[in-house]
Structure 1
């Protein structure tokens, strides 16, 4: 919640006794009332530089059930760490973590079931939620990418729902719409499936984003990247397994003075940086880039606005390449039939974005690891 704290501080300052002409002693004193205000901004806790708190007064932190973890606002406030780990908890404070019971110790549920956290708006003009997976491991999945345990988000209002994810997603993030009505809310749901003996660990920061905030992601983007360059990975890429039922958009904020964006496979990774295998592209030794075959035939692939070498001129038709391929699958990210990494493909279409689609019942040939792509925005 975005509070604005006001602290009244009383300073009693006394002068030395003053001698008057009548030789009477008179003490002259005054009270100075100073109103100290500070915004409730994010702060870094002393527990860990990875953990975020909210700058509030010590009394407000205590009443919210948080723990003071360092000072802020020049010592007038405390960095309040808010955590919820009891199923069924209602969260109405910004920058709250949800964790497994006993965190940081891993948790073994012992039985199937669900654990949910209701997220209410900390103020009426909240439109989005951002989930940062500080820790997220042990959520079981099968060899074909079917989730046994899941994390999901559901909003009370209608609209786009982010994908259900599992596996290992440490360092990932996810956006969810929450609706514009003041009474709209969302529910974060942890589902424990058949493999209840597996130890699980999660620590997820929930941030609430105002409708007018510059940090608000474009509507219905599950992920949003705000740097001119960076790395984008599919959920559970860290476990070398692409997940089924993925249908989400990845957005990159276009920076001022940049007119195109270039994508290429990550290099130097221990996990294969691009492998989306299906009936259209069953082999891990060649790339498939088309205007329709990956999704229509196999049900899995990445969808981009038209790509080419520079995003403006088409690829070379003499080499039987499609001029502006839009769908990519197979063993490499590159032009159709490529047998190695190293292809850099560019889009000049704004907004900068692409889409991952895998059918929930489709075939994912092994090893479909997913993708890890580097992106770089190019100056005009």
Structure 2
């Protein structure tokens, strides 16, 4: 079962005269300042805090990290003439480390081996290792947080029909895990039809209410949140491909989100930085997907008030009855398309406050800045499964959206 791991514990043994110095050194050297736990000693009766009666069980001790019987350790350090020694336990959180395909979770080296992972690099100031757990193959149970799921041949491709079901096993105790985040590290499937429908290949999140399916190419750093509220473990997602000729591949990181860190339920994507790029799935690869209803949400950081959106290119289009809501707080002045005669005079008249869909012969302005300095900022996407082509009928190369975004200081 995927759970939020207890912080990793490391045992650092020293003699009494060195305890203060080493503890001080550890607190200074760790970037995340791991918790330094009070010193314990073995006095022949059990583990105990110095100056207190020894106890056989300590709530600070992780049985996976320390020996199951304390005499094993006392025998190892029997050189102390008094038969006593002092140790300090170093605690660090099991956070995501690395990036992209070279990412994992910060564990102790022993924990990494027990979880079947591979050590990538050091973390927690050298006291932990960035442990990557990877599942290659068609389907299976995902039980370790931040597991990376790939096709068997990755980073190669496959060209055949497959039906793979993955089950994410999580802690479904109330108020523990509220969401699962999927990071599309690499994803390249057959593109959708001109209607935006995934008719050849598809990835489906079984319990997701914001999406119907995914196919085509994932933009860089694309991710997706799926709710676990009202469901029980495990949660499944499936990957299906047909026999049509196409070289496919995928690498997806699966992470559970504790309820204390959950994002708003309507957010398919969530950004907590100050700049980046947002794009529709399969952007610049044919047409945008049908069957989506979600928001792209942005955390408002301290001392940041407004947001600026800049189109990455002019190859953008979300046509009626589909909708793309850009909540800039004031009218968006559309500009003319140089390829369309007379558009420069007409397009400014089509601007509106939210711009729910594109005008066929107009373009977004080079830059748009929101005016609301207090409310949450989020872009809303709603694409229907219907009989309307998901591309500009006047220029079929224009489809979807892509904006560079920046959070502006107050």
TM-score band w.r.t. shorter chain: 0.7 to 0.9
SS at match of 1:235: coil
For residue 131 of structure 1, the aligned residue among 158, 162, 182 is 182
Counterpart of 2:205 in structure 1 is 153
SS at match of 1:243: coil
Query: Structure 1 length normalisation: TM-score?
Result: 0.73
1:81-230 map, 5 Å: 81-108=132-159, 110-111=160-161, 113-121=162-170, 124=173, 125-147=176-198, 148-155=200-207, 160-169=209-218, 170-179=220-229, 183-195=232-244, 197-213=245-261, 216-230=262-276
- Which digits, 9 at most, give the CA deviation of each residue in 1:196-242, with x for residues without a partner? x32211111111111112xx321121011222333211111142421
For residue 280 of structure 2, the aligned residue among 234, 239, 259 is 234
Q: Matched residues in 2 for 1:38 and 1:96: separation?
A: 23
Answering whether residue 54 of structure 2 is matched by residue 54 of structure 1, we say no
Give the direction of change, closer, same or farther, for the CA distance of 1:9–1:123 in structure 2 (3 Å limit).
farther
Counterpart of 2:120 in structure 1 is 69
Aligned residues: 321
SS at match of 2:111: helix
Q: Matched residues in 1 for 2:168 and 2:188: separation?
A: 22
Structure with greater strand share of residues: 1
1:303-318 map, 5 Å: 303-305=325-327, 307-309=329-331
Counterpart of 1:6 in structure 2 is 9
For residue 350 of structure 1, the aligned residue among 335, 354, 375 is 375
- Which digits, 9 at most, give the CA deviation of each residue in 1:113-143, with x for residues without a partner? 4211111225741111111111111344334
Query: Structure 2 length normalisation: TM-score?
Result: 0.68
SS at match of 1:62: helix
Q: Matched residues in 2 for 1:324 and 1:7: separation?
A: 56
**Pairwise CA distance, 1:192:** 1.1
SS at match of 2:405: strand
Structure 1, unmatched stretches of 5+, are 15-26, 279-293, 312-318, 332-336
Contact kept? 1:43, 1:72, Cα under 8 Å: no
Contact kept? 1:12, 1:32, Cα under 8 Å: yes
Contact kept? 2:191, 2:286, Cα under 8 Å: no
- Which digits, 9 at most, give the CA deviation of each residue in 1:36-64, with x for residues without a partner? 3333433545xx77522112233322222
Q: Matched residues in 1 for 2:268 and 2:93: separation?
A: 27
Q: Matched residues in 2 for 1:180 and 1:29: separation?
A: 58
Q: Matched residues in 1 for 2:293 and 2:152: separation?
A: 30
- Which digits, 9 at most, give the CA deviation of each residue in 1:69-102, with x for residues without a partner? 2333444433211111233411122111111112
Counterpart of 1:21 in structure 2 is none
Contact kept? 2:315, 2:397, Cα under 8 Å: no
Shifted more, 226-235 versus 257-266: the winner is: 257-266
Contact kept? 2:274, 2:406, Cα under 8 Å: yes
SS at match of 2:386: coil
Q: Matched residues in 1 for 2:330 and 2:104: separation?
A: 44
Q: Matched residues in 1 for 2:292 and 2:94: separation?
A: 34
Give the direction of change, closer, same or farther, for the CA distance of 1:324–1:88 in structure 2 (3 Å limit).
closer
Contact kept? 1:13, 1:31, Cα under 8 Å: no
Counterpart of 1:359 in structure 2 is 384
Give the direction of change, closer, same or farther, for the CA distance of 1:67–1:134 in structure 2 (3 Å limit).
same
Structure 2, unmatched stretches of 5+, are 18-79, 334-347
Q: Matched residues in 2 for 1:357 and 1:154: separation?
A: 19
Q: Matched residues in 1 for 2:329 and 2:125: separation?
A: 51
SS at match of 2:133: strand
Q: Matched residues in 1 for 2:167 and 2:371: separation?
A: 40
